[in-house]
Amino acid sequence: MRLRVRDLAWSAGRGAHAVPILHGVDLDVAGGLLTGIVGPNGCGKTTLLHLVAGLRRPTRGTVEADGEDLLALTARERARRVALVEQHPQTGLDLTARQVVELGRIPHLGRWGRRRERGGDVVEEVMATSGVAHLADRAWGTLSGGERQRVQLARALAQQPRLLLLDEPTNHLDLAHQIGLLTRVADLPVSTVAVLHDLDLAAAFCDHLVVVHAGRVVAAGPTAEVLRPDLVAEVFGVDVRVEAASGDRLRVQWRGLTEVP
């Protein structure tokens, strides 16, 4: 799926008290690639994902997927195309891990929610490939942060989306699971947009990067073109070295702050 966002804006609050958060963002996501969104805390990354996922209504702008207006779809239609894994998954669900993953099948259910349509095979498969099959019967509330994160990814994949939106998907994961998750996501034949804080992981796994700063996109394109030390210094206030690692991967090493936050 090709995602095309134009002039997307959002303000918190209304009327005279409205505070502009996103100031007219353009975003292009190529089919099948992993696009990373990076930027300092509070710059608007989650807001951007929420607008694309339809969780918030923009104050202006368009969101198109393969030429289709995503903002005009019903929530159910949109959920067959777009899946979102949120930064802070809900903790109060009275469900097992398998039931959480089955939630991902709801947009595909027939009127009577028949078993075949529930996609039992899809659920088993995504739980196995997400490494959470052994947690299937565990109560959601008893799972660790990292286990919840992986179950939420399985739930999103059970949706069989054409666009996968991930908000800090490596949160709570140990290093092996961070690398495992991003390797898997990078190999998915699905257009994926992931908000990432770790520039080194973003450099290693993302085909494209979008840099957001104070509610605006300040750079976008192939990772090697975007990830320049001068831009990182300007946006994050950090002095980094960007060097070639194995294959065509890049490595980002920080050396210090250029300014104290």
Q: How many CA atoms lie within 13 A of 7 on its CB side?
A: 4
71 three-state secondary structure: helix
Closer by beta carbon to ligand ATP, 136 or else 195:
195
Closer by beta carbon to ligand ATP, 45 or else 78:
45
CB 249, min distance to ligand ATP, A: 24
Closer by beta carbon to ligand ATP, 48 or else 132:
48
Question: 7 and 62 in contact (C-beta within 8 Å)?
Answer: yes
User: What are the Cα distances from residue 42, in Å, to 21, 131, 212?
Assistant: 9, 32, 10
Closer by beta carbon to ligand ATP, 45 or else 208:
45
Question: CA 157, 63, 72 angle in degrees (round to 5)?
Answer: 90
Question: 11 and 59 in contact (C-beta within 8 Å)?
Answer: yes
CB 50, min distance to ligand ATP, A: 8
122 three-state secondary structure: helix
Is 237 a binding residue for ligand ATP by CB under 6 A? The answer is no
Give the total of residues touching ligand ATP (CB under 6 A): 10
Say how far residue 221 (Cα) sits from the centre of its chain: 17
CB 47, min distance to ligand ATP, A: 3
Is 222 a binding residue for ligand ATP by CB under 6 A? The answer is no
CB 39, min distance to ligand ATP, A: 6
Site map for ligand ATP, 43-82, x if CB under 6 A? xxxxx-----------------------------------
Q: Which residues contact 125 (CB under 8 A, 6 or more apart)?
A: none
Question: What phi-psi label fits residue 215: left (phi over 0), alpha (psi between -120 and 50 degrees) or beta?
Answer: left
Residue found under tokens 């969780």? 55
Closer by beta carbon to ligand ATP, 39 or else 119:
39
CB 10, min distance to ligand ATP, A: 8
Q: Which residues contact 40 (CB under 8 A, 6 or more apart)?
A: 213, 235, 236
Site map for ligand ATP, 129-168, x if CB under 6 A? ----------------------------------------
CB 258, min distance to ligand ATP, A: 19
List residues binding ligand ATP (CB under 6 A): 12, 21, 39, 41-47
